[in-house]
Chain A
């Protein structure tokens, strides 16, 4: 057995000096060349477990029990110096955020050199040769050029490749990947996963793959452990587990995942009322303003074109899904319509009224009728104001309600969002992520809007929470008849909520039409690639289609 974890228990000290257990008696085993997925929602202890596998814990936490046998030696019992020697050479880790795991003032090549020099004692020149070879192995086109770049000069996918190259530098027997693709776009994710599988074979490395995304685990791993509250509640062969989960929690997790290729129930299409559309956008173009210091006569850099010639309309009571990866211009569209930024050229008509000014200059009633919900629920709620004050503000601004009236209305809204009215006196930080996003939704619905813009509202949430927030949004929509512009990079989510869909890439429309049509018969190769990347692997698992998708790109 290559890696044998017995009864591993890790705890940490909380702010109020209590000791809590984050990983509770976990046992697992990994053989040479095997791939093990560890799945679970945020806070279940999977990252803590990953670190403990390298005999490391975050400051403040402590391994309190158990053993980690690497090739038969308990590495937890080794002196610190030997632990250091093992990390990076025999067991290596790829952390979640590639930008924060690379030092920004050093060329990426030098950062790989460091590892090689430390563990293998190579000279500078030998190290450089080896690093370039590693970068080439990760499939980067010009490894010499990449070697000399700084992290900020690379894209997210390239950064993650560099980190993977660094992790593989000493040919470790085990590679621990902690959510390596969570910060990446779906198509980039697909390519990185492909790379990981390929390098695993090439380097003969065993993988421990940690993710909240069961889909990704299904793609990469032979075996899976599902964690909850620090314990492994289900473990076994990936395909078998997904086909017939034993534990109720696993089943719930699987059910909560929005399906792109589900044969299951698709949302009944809302009838087209035949009225004029609520929002009509024709030939929208948006170029970011030139950047400069804002001083007269100082040099300026021309802004980039974020949206090119976009036309669409949203009918009353219907939901338009806007899909695209980061940088596709989808958030810019949201910002222009909501009035965060002044419009570029083109025409936007909201219920016949042209939207040609930014929000502060729009009439108050227009501001009320278009509401926006943001991606990060925590940052969209003022941390120093109580939930009550947050919800009462739009009621007071738009409907001139008195304090008492507004408070009652706020309580009613909270209850409508399946939350208790006592939460009115709490502060955002005291709520869970899902509750925070419900409050943000409640704030938007407080204005009784005609159009609601949701910008990646579920991206920051766990799958199970995401499902409940989406259900809530759908039921609120059915009740109030509000139209919705729903922006997401997740096609599964879009499939669940949107009647119509537009696929954006680099500011241009690639595909458009009713959701069911676009998803069943995508006309543009980019849409096909996106669909391929989000395909739920555990529903159908054809072997060769990944390469087919890559060939399209």
Chain B
């Protein structure tokens, strides 16, 4: 089965491109501190220097090496999105399974809270929560988790509802297994592939969200190098030095597109339907 899926991935050039670009991004993010000749906040040259042998992509408004900042710029975004989405997936799986398995009041309460959350636009939620709790990385992670958890709860609950009436769950109940054991042994293995796809889908959306927040001044604070922040810093000079905006935009979009291509390709190869409903929630 895995061998067959592997073959299907190899046969799909689009998926292979996605995987290659994604791998490159991850490698750069992981190795950036060793790849870059300058410190990310080091004022290495004069402001707005053109590309040269010393500064391959020139320098930014303060004279920092732009290549260095570009290579470092994905690290914090990716980590924040990763942590936030991970929390959303774990919490979403827990509450989604709990809602489906317990039913009744617990289900009602969880699902009405989810409905409430869905009714509030994400950007509004973030715009209130971040200034309210203070602009810091932990708050940012929790806010990301909150934005995505509702969608995960819904999809997990929907799948779990189809698992609950099956014989193997009834058999576990008749054995007298505890609720926790039923969730972990009977439900979790059956929702695991859904969770993986959810994780990948939410990841690309979360990366965009973190970058937008940084652009709006609600996300990562200067002087940390970050693509969203770099776009926002460069946007005032778009007529004279458009590269300040173009480079980080290319970096961000290639990462997101590569992530989406990989998710879709891998999920299709594994035969998971989840990939077909790539939705925000």
Contact = CB atoms under 8 A, between A and B. Distances in A.
A294 B171 CA distance: 25
A360 B176 contact: yes
B10 to A, nearest CB: 14
Contacts of A382: 168, 185-186, 189-190
Nearest to A294: B104
Interface in A370-408: 370-372, 374-376, 379-385, 390, 393-394, 397-398
Nearest to B4: A16
Interface in B219-274: none
Contacts of B166: 379-380
A385 B163 CA distance: 14
Query: What class of interface size applies to chain B in its complex with A?
Result: 20 to 34
Contacts of B189: 382, 384-385
Interface in B80-111: 103-105, 107-108
B112 to A, nearest CB: 10
Interface in A304-362: 338-340, 359-360, 362
Given A380-B168, A384-B190, A384-B192, A340 B173 contact: yes
A200 B105 CA distance: 55
Given A15-B4, A294-B104, A381 B174 contact: no
A448 B227 CA distance: 64
Contacts of B175: 367, 393-394, 397-398
Contact of B173 (A360, A370, A376): A360
B192 A367 contact: no
A340 B167 CA distance: 11
Contacts of A375: 167
Nearest to B167: A380
B23 interface: no
Contacts of A370: 174
B79 interface: no
B193 to A, nearest CB: 9
A443 interface: yes
Contacts of A380: 166-168, 170-171
A364 interface: yes
A360 B107 CA distance: 21
Interface in B185-205: 185-186, 189-190, 192
A371 B172 CA distance: 11
Contacts of B190: 382-384
Given A367-B175, A384-B190, A340 B170 contact: yes
Given A295-B105, A340-B173, A360-B176, 13 more contacts: A16-B4, A340-B170, A340-B174, A359-B174, A372-B170, A374-B171, A375-B167, A379-B168, A380-B168, A384-B189, A397-B176, A397-B177, A398-B175
In order of increasing CB-CB distance, the 4 nearest A-B pairs are: A380-B167, A384-B189, A374-B167, A382-B168
Interface of A: 15-16, 293-295, 338-340, 359-360, 362, 364, 367, 370-372, 374-376, 379-385, 390, 393-394, 397-398, 440, 443
15 contacts: A294-B104, A339-B174, A340-B174, A360-B173, A360-B176, A364-B176, A372-B171, A374-B170, A379-B166, A380-B168, A380-B171, A381-B167, A382-B189, A384-B189, A394-B175
